[in-house]
Amino acid sequence: MTIAIKTAADIDGMRIAGRLAAEVLDMLTPHMAPGVTTQALDKLAHDYMVNVQQTIPAPLNYAPPGYAPYPKSICTSINHQICHGIPNDRPLKSGDIVNIDITVIKDGWHGDTSRMFIIGEASIAAKRLCQLSYEAMWRGIVKVRPGARLGDIGHSIQTFAENNGFSVVREFCGHGIGRKFHEEPQVLHYGKPGTLEVLMPGMVFTIEPMVNAGRREIREAGDGWTIVTKDRSLSAQWEHTVAVTDTGYEVLTLSAGSPALPAFVRESVTA
């Protein structure tokens, strides 16, 4: 396995791409209301990326081996959809939870991030899933530092999710990222501490756990892209792009509108 080590100049470029990806989510936030369609959100995002940011929407026509080209500029996964949901003309309704996944390319660098949105008034269980899956992602992020191992990240996410009664999807994982959308390493969201690759300064990868309210088993929907929970339980996902620094980590996909850090992260920063 060859894991690319990014230079300081490379990470400067990725920091810009990451912030721009997050700013697409900021722009979409006021539109996340009952009655909007994910197709309308896709058009808003596409136009903003292309015309305002002068970025390229990386998902559009992306075609990994065995897949037809992805037809839209963002991914929108609703309720029991886990990931890769294709925007369509169904209006969102109050109570829906939606993951919006954005990847932009700026000056050749990819920025990749996603957030959960609650439409209108959701159930207590849905809100709990969204909140605790956000914390699960950060439980993984704070494990990032030179000398740590990828298994430390996965173990922290898995134990936190499972201790709260949830399950973690195993078929999809985080990934290295840079000039390519998907690079080595694969970043599993489950595992054993002290295993897998050692983290080194200059590594850049995504952490993006998919957390199910029910069982972890998945199935593919009929469109060739959308992945759903087999038991139709709710699923939530958050994603950040993270760089390994000399002393710890830097999240490259933060913006003015990013959700507040969990309390345990804020406390570790000020300690």
Distances (CA, A) of 27 to 21, 51, 53, 105, 214: 10, 14, 12, 17, 32
Two structure tokens written together for 215: 């069982």
Quote the mean pLDDT of the chain: 97
Sequence letter at residue 232: R
pLDDT in tens, 96-125: 999 999 999 999 999 999 999 999 999 999
Q: Has residue 271 got a pLDDT over 70?
A: no
* Unique residue bearing structure tokens 């709990």: 128
What is the mean predicted confidence (pLDDT) over 65-79?
96
Provide the pLDDT for residue 267: 76
Which residues make Cβ contacts (< 8 Å) with residue 182, sequence separation at least 6?
Answer: 64, 175, 176
Beta strands in the chain (DSSP E): 56-57, 75-78, 81-83, 97-106, 109-118, 167-168, 174-176, 183-187, 204-207, 210-212, 218-220, 227-229, 235-237, 240-244, 249-251
Q: Has residue 9 got a pLDDT over 50?
A: yes
Cα distance between residue 177 and residue 175, in whole Å? 6
Q: Has residue 270 got a pLDDT over 60?
A: no
What is the mean predicted confidence (pLDDT) over 62-83?
96
Provide the pLDDT for residue 107: 98
- pLDDT confidence band for 237 (50 / 70 / 90): very high
pLDDT in tens, 34-67: 999 999 999 999 999 999 999 999 999 999 998 9
Question: Please, are residues 140 and 204 in contact by the beta-carbon 8 Å criterion?
Answer: no
Residue 23 CB-density burial (10 A; 0-12 exposed, 13-18 middle, 19+ buried): buried
% of the chain surpassing 90 pLDDT = 96
Two structure tokens written together for 91: 């209006």
Question: Please, are residues 205 and 252 in contact by the beta-carbon 8 Å criterion?
Answer: no
Q: Has residue 269 got a pLDDT over 70?
A: no
pLDDT in tens, 188-224: 999 999 999 999 999 999 999 999 999 999 999 989 9
What is the mean predicted confidence (pLDDT) over 173-180?
98
Superfamily the domain 8-65+74-270 falls into:
Creatinase/methionine aminopeptidase superfamily (3.90.230.10)
Name the DSSP letter for residue 90.
P
Name the CA dihedral angle for 215, 218, 221, 224, rounded to a multiple of 10 degrees: 160
% of the chain surpassing 70 pLDDT = 99
Cα distance between residue 109 and residue 55, in whole Å? 10
Question: Please, are residues 41 and 57 in contact by the beta-carbon 8 Å criterion?
Answer: no
pLDDT in tens, 124-157: 999 999 999 999 999 999 999 999 999 999 999 9
Domain ranges in the chain are: 8-65+74-270
What is the mean predicted confidence (pLDDT) over 83-98?
98
Q: Has residue 186 got a pLDDT over 90?
A: yes
At 112 the three-state DSSP class reads: strand
Edge-first strand order for the sheet with 235-237 is 167-168, 210-212, 235-237
Alpha helices in 142-176 (DSSP H): 150-163
Q: Has residue 30 got a pLDDT over 90?
A: yes
Two structure tokens written together for 241: 């792009």
